[in-house]
């Protein structure tokens, strides 16, 4: 080819976009994003982060809707491989961290089996960032020495590996992602584990963004408070004594941003 060495195959970067605040995108994530030929981005990637994608890059939206997750995931897998095999560098941009309930492990397995080179760029997960922006430390020497991050979409029907009652009885701070639609069952399971019904609970909508809102209560009343406040996804649920610190340590003023 006239002495010019052509690039035969590209690389796929699984990049964590963070929880929403564009300032929480890592330097490595921004560096990779700036050189991307193709960017496949999720529904939870904030508009501010999306605006950082170069105009030259091909943008592909991959937000999942109810009932079509598996079909869309197969499409995403196919696109990643097809674009990389034409010599393009592909960024798979995911809200939060790609390896925290983001199917990053599944996607890297798919790429590995098909001989596509990949790299993972971790991101800041909303499991820890949203509580931090609400003034809630997930661990504290006087309140909590253990923390668990749980998906709110499993274990609800009793047929999967999440043992809600065991988690409730053995973990100090419980952080639940993607749990709003199953809030009633989750709270009832945790309540039946032996935790006091006076245990503090907070639900943080759109954590770290201008839309952040915190609804607080206890195991005994959070379901009703969430209903009255019309809590919607995306939201992070935190259960434990550390939640009480949010009243003292809250620092983030979303409306002032």
14-56 pLDDT, tens per residue? 999 999 999 999 999 999 999 999 999 999 999 999 999 999 9
Name all domains of the chain by residue range, CATH numbers in brackets. 11-121 (3.40.1010.10), 126-256 (3.30.950.10)
List, for residues 180-197, the tens digit of each pLDDT value: 999 999 999 999 888 999
Say if pTM beats, i.e. exceeds, 0.85.
Answer: yes
Taking a C-beta distance cutoff of 8 angstroms, is the pair 94, 162 a contact? Answer: no
**Segment holding 256, helix H or strand E:** none
Nearest CA-CA partner of 32 in 114, 96, 119: 119
Q: Three-state SS for 238?
A: strand
Gap between the Cα atoms of 223 and 24, Å rounded: 31
Residues of the chain with pLDDT under 70: 1-7, 64-67, 155-160, 256-257
Tokens 């609400």 belong to which residue? Answer: 134
Beta bridge partners of 215: 203
- Catalytic annotation, residues: 42, 64, 178
């Amino acid at each position: 080819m006239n002495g010019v060495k052509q690039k035969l195959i590209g690389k796929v970067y699984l990049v964590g976009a963070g929880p929403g605040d564009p300032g929480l995108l890592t330097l490595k994530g921004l560096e990779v994003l700036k050189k991307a030929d193709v960017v496949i981005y999720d529904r939870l990637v904030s508009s501010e982060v999306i605006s950082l994608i170069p105009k030259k890059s091909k943008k592909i939206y991959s937000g999942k809707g109810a009932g079509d997750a598996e079909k869309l995931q197969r499409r995403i897998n196919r696109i990643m491989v097809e674009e990389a095999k034409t010599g393009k560098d592909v960024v798979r941009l995911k809200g939060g961290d790609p390896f925290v309930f983001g199917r990053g492990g599944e996607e890297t397995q798919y790429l590995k089996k098909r001989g596509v080179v990949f790299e993972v760029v971790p991101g800041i997960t909303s499991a820890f960032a949203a509580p931090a922006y609400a003034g809630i430390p997930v661990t504290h020497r006087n309140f909590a020495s253990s923390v668990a991050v749980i998906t709110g979409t499993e274990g609800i029907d009793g047929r999967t590996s999440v043992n809600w009652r065991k988690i409730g009885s053995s973990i100090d701070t419980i952080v639940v992602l993607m749990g709003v639609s199953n809030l009633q069952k989750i709270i009832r399971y945790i309540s039946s584990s032996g935790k006091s019904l006076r245990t503090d609970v907070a639900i943080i909508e759109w954590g770290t963004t201008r839309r952040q809102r915190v609804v607080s209560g206890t195991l005994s009343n959070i379901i009703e408070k969430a209903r009255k406040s019309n809590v919607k996804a995306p939201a992070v649920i935190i259960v434990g004594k550390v939640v009480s610190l949010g009243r003292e340590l809250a620092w983030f003023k979303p409306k002032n941003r």
